[in-house]
């Protein structure tokens, strides 16, 4: 049987005081005589009493809980993002409910409904193409929302300049002499995919080359290592013969490097590899991975700050971190 949680009434009875006195000890302790306060606090300790924050928030009409829906909390990128959210929420004594959408519109819709039922203070979400329509329903309920890792003029958002990120990655590969570059991409419905591809094409054009000659795009079902490996297999067996691969994230890059290793191909001598995010593991690989660094924790912090204070933040700038996987001099 579930143990009965001690109530304010239980504490009052054990301490021999009124419920109002217990409430004063909890909320206005300076108004209670020291001896009485000590007796109430002893009763709380003996009963293992904890105040019911949900009931308190319900009475006050203000929730101190924020919901966040990310693509996949198992991806270290979103783990770092969530840590940034938590760090900012903790400053104002808020807590976080974290959910993974798995890039599934139905799953996202279900979590948004559940968060609304919980009466959260607001919602942070890494969006899909259909997300904004669902957020309109939250707005009608008085629940604000912020898009993360997204750049929107119509909705509160905190984002990264992924056009610049794609441009930096491809410009680096062009400078290394590569003229057949594979992009292992996420869904074209994702703004991140479209912007990184735009940046890649701009880099090729700036070099006086034709993007259709230099770039090939393979869209992955999901952004996992296994899909990265399968995407590279498809490219290698197509006969086109890329000499470099730009990956949607570092996890995809791990899968691509796994396939190169399986085939006995050397990185970067036989194929250069560039990832995206610059996860902690990128620098620790046997062949350290070149990656476009995103300010993951800062992104989460800024999104939570925007939700709580309505203070806008500038678009974050990514930075290419060059390592041995794409640079012969570092190999």
Residues of the chain by 3-state class (helix, strand, coil), percent to 5 = 50, 15, 35
Q: Are 22 and 40 in contact (CB under 8 A)?
A: yes
Q: 40 with 184, same domain?
A: no
Number of independent structural domains in the chain: 3
Q: Are 47 and 11 in contact (CB under 8 A)?
A: yes
In a 13 Å sphere around the CA of 237, the CA atoms on its Cβ side amount to 8
Confidence bin at 239 (pLDDT 50/70/90)? confident
Q: Is the peptide bond before 268 cis (omega within 30 degrees of 0)?
A: yes
> Which tokens belong to 235?
């490219």
Q: 152 with 249, same domain?
A: no
Q: 188 with 324, same domain?
A: yes
pLDDT for the residue numbered 2? 45
Q: 289 with 169, same domain?
A: yes
pLDDT digits (tens, 9 = 90+) for 8-41: 888 899 999 998 898 888 878 888 999 999 999 9
Q: 322 with 185, same domain?
A: yes
Confidence bin at 1 (pLDDT 50/70/90)? very low
Residue ranges making up the domain that contains 175:
162-294+317-330
Average pLDDT over residues 67-87: 95
Calpha distance 65→89 (Å, rounded): 9
Calpha distance 114→231 (Å, rounded): 36
Q: Are 40 and 256 in contact (CB under 8 A)?
A: no
Residue 309 lies in a domain: no
Residue 190 lies in a domain: yes
Q: Is the pLDDT of residue 54 over 70?
A: no
Q: Are 107 and 81 in contact (CB under 8 A)?
A: no
Q: Are 146 and 93 in contact (CB under 8 A)?
A: no
Average pLDDT over residues 159-186: 97
Q: 68 with 188, same domain?
A: no
Q: 133 with 193, same domain?
A: no
DSSP 29: G
Q: 139 with 193, same domain?
A: no
Residue 253 lies in a domain: yes
Residue 19 lies in a domain: yes
**CATH code of the domain covering residue 150:** 3.40.50.2300
Calpha distance 326→289 (Å, rounded): 8
Residue 223 lies in a domain: yes
Annotate 151-213 with three-state secondary structure.
CCCCCCEECECHHHHHHHHHHHHHHCCCCCEEEEECCCCCHHHHHHHHHHHHHHHHCCCCHHH
Q: 170 with 215, same domain?
A: yes
Q: 31 with 98, same domain?
A: no
Q: Is the pLDDT of residue 265 over 90?
A: yes
pTM > 0.85: yes or no: no
pLDDT digits (tens, 9 = 90+) for 134-164: 888 888 888 999 999 999 988 999 999 999 9
């Amino acid at each position: 049987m579930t143990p009965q949680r001690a109530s304010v009434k239980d504490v009052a009875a054990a301490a021999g005081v009124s419920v109002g006195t217990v409430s004063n000890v909890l909320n206005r302790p300076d108004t209670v005589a020291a001896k009485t306060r000590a007796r109430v606090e002893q009763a709380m300790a003996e009963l293992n009493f904890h105040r019911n924050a949900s009931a308190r928030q319900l009475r006050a009409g203000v929730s101190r809980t924020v919901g966040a829906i990310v693509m996949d909390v198992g991806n270290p990128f979103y783990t770092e993002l969530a840590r940034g959210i938590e760090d900012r929420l903790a400053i104002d004594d808020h807590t976080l409910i974290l959910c993974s959408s798995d890039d599934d519109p139905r799953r996202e819709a279900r979590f948004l409904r559940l968060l609304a039922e919980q009466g959260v203070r607001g919602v942070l979400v890494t969006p899909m193409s259909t997300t904004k329509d669902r957020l309109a329903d939250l707005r009608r309920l008085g629940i604000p929302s912020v898009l993360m890792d997204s750049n929107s003029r119509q909705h509160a958002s905190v984002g990264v300049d992924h056009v610049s990120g794609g441009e930096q990655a491809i410009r680096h590969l062009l400078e290394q002499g590569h003229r057949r570059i594979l992009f292992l991409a996420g869904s074209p419905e994702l703004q991140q995919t479209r912007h990184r591809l735009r940046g890649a094409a701009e880099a090729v054009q700036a070099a006086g080359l034709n993007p259709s000659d230099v770039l090939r795009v393979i869209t992955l079902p999901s952004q996992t290592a296994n899909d990265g490996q399968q995407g590279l297999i498809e490219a290698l067996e197509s006969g086109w013969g890329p000499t470099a691969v730009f990956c949607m994230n570092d996890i995809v890059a791990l899968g691509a490097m796994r396939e190169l290793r399986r085939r006995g191909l050397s990185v970067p001598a036989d194929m250069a590899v560039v990832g995206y995010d610059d996860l902690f593991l990128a620098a620790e690989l046997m062949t350290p991975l070149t990656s476009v660094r995103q300010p993951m924790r800062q992104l989460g912090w800024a999104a939570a700050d925007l939700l709580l204070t309505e203070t806008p933040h500038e678009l974050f700038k990514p930075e290419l971190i060059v390592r041995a996987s794409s640079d012969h001099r570092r190999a």
